[in-house]
């Protein structure tokens, strides 16, 4: 019984050391601030797309969040306002009062 326990302890120690090696090889996730993501996204767009109007949901699909897959719309709106984007509302029946964002000229 004593030899069996020694062998189990040795196996567990061996597994722990190999799992430590595996975890150290995993890629490290680094968060890029939302403002930098927006600037990079807009700068990489063709001029035709750069000057069109955008909804928050269209932008959110292309940005990475800090804690979730995509950032919260409120955080996107704060950064867009800080970058000089203008917000308007579409009061037509198709728009249903949605907010549209226009890039700075």
Q: CA 70 to CA 60: how far, in whole Å? A: 6
Short-list 90, 84, 88, CA closest to 101? 88
Short-list 48, 56, 40, 49, CA closest to 101? 56
What does residue 84 show for φ and ψ, rounded to 5 degrees?
95, 10
pLDDT (average), residues 8-25: 73
At 49-87, the pLDDT tens digits run: 888 999 999 999 999 988 888 999 999 999 999 999 999
What would the DSSP string read from start to end of 27-65?
A: PPP-PPPHHHHHHHHHHTS-HHHHTS-B-HHHHHTTS--
What pTM value is reported for the model?
0.68
What does residue 39 show for φ and ψ, rounded to 5 degrees?
-60, -45
Q: CA 4 to CA 58: how far, in whole Å? A: 60
């Amino acid at each position: 019984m004593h030899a069996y326990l020694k062998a189990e302890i040795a196996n567990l120690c061996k597994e722990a050391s190999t799992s430590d090696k595996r975890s150290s090889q995993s890629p490290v996730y680094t968060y890029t601030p939302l403002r930098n993501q927006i600037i990079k996204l807009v700068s990489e767009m063709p001029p035709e797309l750069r000057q069109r109007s955008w909804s928050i949901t269209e932008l959110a699909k292309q940005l990475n969040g800090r804690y979730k897959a995509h950032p919260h719309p409120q955080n996107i709106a704060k950064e867009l306002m800080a970058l000089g984007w203008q917000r308007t509302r579409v009061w037509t029946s198709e728009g249903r009062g949605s907010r549209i964002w226009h890039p700075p000229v």
